[in-house]
Structure formats: C-alpha cells, structure tokens
C-alpha cells in the first residue's frame, strides 16, 4: 500500500516538476524577447511584475520532487556513517522535525495568501493580483508535507523491520554507486 501511495504522489510530483521546467523555459524565452524589444524601444508593459509573480512556480512547485530525489542538503557525513536501526531512527526524527516545520509554514503561507486575496493585494504599477502566486506556496508545501509523511511511514517500516527493502524513502548512495550509475547512463 505504501508503494502504491508513493507511486501516485510521484506522478503528481513529476507533473509539477515538468510544469516548473516548462515555466522556466517560457519565462526565459519571453525575457529574451523582452530584452530585444526593450533595445528596439518597445518594452512590454508589466512584464517585470509578471515575471516576479512567476517565481513562486519555480521556487516552490519542485520541492516535493527534490525531497523524493534526495536533492536537499543533508548531513550525510553523520547519517551516512550510521548503520542499522539507529540510522532509520535518526532519519525518522529528522523527517518528523521537517514535517512539523512544513506544517507550520503551510498554515502561515495559507493565511498570507488568504489575506492577499481578501484585501485585494496587487502589484504596484499594473495592479496584477498577487494572491495566485502566494497561493502556490501552501499548495506546494502541502504536497511536500505529503511526501514527508510517506517518508515517515517508510522510515517507521524500516525501524520495525530492518531487513525490509526501502520503500518511499531516499537511499543514500556511495560515491562509487553514483559514479557507476552515471557511467551506465552515458553508455545507454
């Protein structure tokens, strides 16, 4: 069951990271055209404000994916040297602390977005509403919280049954294992 939930959440995370990547590409292309049009004397009104609002897409929608891929900064010098049940206990409690922090951030980022909606917060010059960009933060953090909760269940499973295969948790790899995977990708 944990594997099924992990796979379904992974599909959502994959979609969001693809959406973020496409959004970055579109903003990059539009920025190039904006620079060219500005040089030619025809700047696009409001472009800077729209590009600022789009930053929440790339900054937050990919965090759950990064968690799944174990791309966040970690204390691998400490955790990487732990073995057995103690390793999974440390991973469990560090993930629990992360989940508690994210739950607090969800609450306050939601209140921030709700406040922006209620007061009609807009950008300064062209009066674009800011609440859609602000609402992406609690949405992305909620998906991240779901990922952290699934990881908690995975770590708890490993604490109970140390010989089980890891499911829904990142597995740290040695430098040799990473190098071998890169070589395999290059050969394929």
82 vs 86, 168, 172, CA distance in Å?
7, 19, 11
- pLDDT at residue 75 in the model: 67
pTM score of the predicted model: 0.89
The DSSP letter of residue 129 is: B
Closest CA to 161 of 76, 85, 79: 85
The answer to whether 121 touches 39, Cβ cutoff 8 Å, is no
pLDDT of res. 159: 97
* CA 117 vs CA 48, 65, 113, 120, 134: distances in Å: 21, 28, 6, 5, 9
For the chain (188 residues), the mean pLDDT of every run of 10, in chain order, is 95 97 96 95 93 94 92 74 91 96 98 98 95 98 98 97 93 79 84
For residue 110, what is the enclosing H or E element? Answer: helix 84-119
């Amino acid at each position: 069951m944990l594997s099924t939930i992990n796979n379904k959440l992974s599909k959502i995370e994959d979609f969001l990271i693809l959406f973020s990547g496409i959004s970055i590409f579109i903003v990059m292309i539009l920025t190039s055209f904006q620079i060219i049009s500005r040089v030619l004397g025809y700047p696009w009104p409001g472009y800077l404000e729209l590009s600022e609002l789009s930053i929440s897409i790339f900054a937050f929608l990919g965090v759950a994916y990064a968690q799944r891929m174990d791309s966040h900064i970690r204390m691998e010098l400490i955790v990487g040297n732990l073995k057995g049940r103690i390793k999974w206990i440390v991973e469990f409690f560090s993930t629990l602390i992360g989940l508690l922090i994210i739950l607090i951030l969800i609450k306050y980022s939601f209140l921030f977005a709700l406040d922006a909606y209620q007061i009609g917060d807009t950008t300064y010059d062209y009066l674009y509403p800011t609440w859609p960009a602000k609402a992406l933060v609690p949405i992305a953090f909620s998906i991240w919280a779901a990922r952290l909760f699934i990881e908690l269940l995975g770590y708890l499973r490993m604490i109970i049954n140390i010989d089980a295969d890891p499911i829904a948790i990142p597995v740290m790899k040695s430098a040799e294992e990473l190098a071998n995977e890169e070589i395999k990708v290059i050969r394929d």
